[in-house]
Amino acid sequence: MQTAKRYECLKGLPPYGPMYVSISENDEQLFSEGFVVRFTKSDGTNWVANFKIGWSNFSTIFELPSAGKIVVIANGQGYVMCADQQNAITTFGTAITDLLRTEDGRYVAADNTNLVIINSDGSVWASTRLSFDGIKELEINGNIVSGYSYHPTSDADEWIKFYFNIDTKGAEIGRHKRYDDDTPDKKKPFWKFWRL
């Protein structure tokens, strides 16, 4: 028997009923209308959450049934929720643009500069920086996530292929060049030496 969903996405803040609850990554309470969700508690009552949005256009919501948790991604900003609690269990990301599900029930999200792994128990792990500013064409094959990361310091091309092992938590190929490396490279144009 399938249980009913514990959430419903709303088109906006309801004009009547109890006051909504503001949910943000830094406990900020005063912000404009964001990503709005109605949660249903275990006792059948409900409440409305107004999630502060992040820096992308990607939004989604899904359940982690074995953990009794709900993951909300509000325009790039991620939240792990429990329908019975009117606050975030944890937050992650700021500019998530893509999300893939693994065969074993984990999720891998691409943020602007790194990957975020959402485990089936609701715990979250973020990789070190894989990109200067942008990850695209994310794919997953078994435990290997691949895609392209943006590197404005690359000699050959600005989008470089990367492979990331989500079990060992390590980049196998195409790891980003260290941006804090001030060693001159005579092959690079002079303008690539300057840092913003």
Considering 94, 121, 140, which residue would you say is the last residue of a domain? 94
Q: Give all strands (DSSP E) within 66-165, no chain letters.
A: 69-74, 77-81, 90-92, 98-101, 107-110, 115-118, 124-126, 135-141, 144-150, 159-165
Q: Is the pTM of this model over 0.75?
A: yes
Task: Tell me, yes or no, whether 177 and 129 share the same domain.
Answer: yes
Task: Tell me, yes or no, whether 52 and 36 share the same domain.
Answer: yes
Considering 94, 114, 133, which residue would you say is the last residue of a domain? 94
Task: Tell me, yes or no, whether 160 and 183 share the same domain.
Answer: yes
119-152 pLDDT tens trace = 999 999 999 999 988 999 999 999 999 999 988 8
Considering 94, 124, 141, which residue would you say is the last residue of a domain? 94
Domain containing 111: what range? 97-196
Task: Tell me, yes or no, whether 13 and 75 share the same domain.
Answer: yes
d(CA 116, CA 138): 12
51-110 pLDDT tens trace = 999 999 999 999 999 999 999 999 999 999 999 999 999 999 999 999 999 999 999 999
